[in-house]
Amino acid sequence: MSTAEINRGVALVKDLIIAASIRKDLDQILSIYADAIITPSHEEWQTFARLSAVPELRHLCHGKNKKNLPRTGADVFLAIQAVTIRCAVATCNVNDFALIGRHLPIVGGIVNPATGAWVREPDVVHDEDHPDSTETSG
- CB neighbours of residue 83 within 10 Å: 19
Note the residue count of the chain: 138
- Binned at pLDDT 50, 70 and 90, residue 130 comes out as low
Quick one: which of 125, 115, 118 has its CA closest to 101?
A: 118
Q: What are the helix (H) ranges across the chain?
A: 3-12, 16-32, 42-52, 58-61, 74-84, 94-101
Domain edges within the chain: 1-37, 39-138
What's the pLDDT at 129? Answer: 54
DSSP states of 61-84 as a string?
A: HSSB-TTSPBP--HHHHHHHHHHH
* Contact call for residues 51 and 100 (beta carbons, < 8 A): yes
Residue type, 85: I
pLDDT for the residue numbered 88: 93
Mean pLDDT of all residues in 5-34: 87
Give residue 63's region: left, alpha or beta (phi > 0; psi -120 to 50).
Answer: left
Which of 2-16, 62-76, 122-136: highest mean pLDDT? 62-76
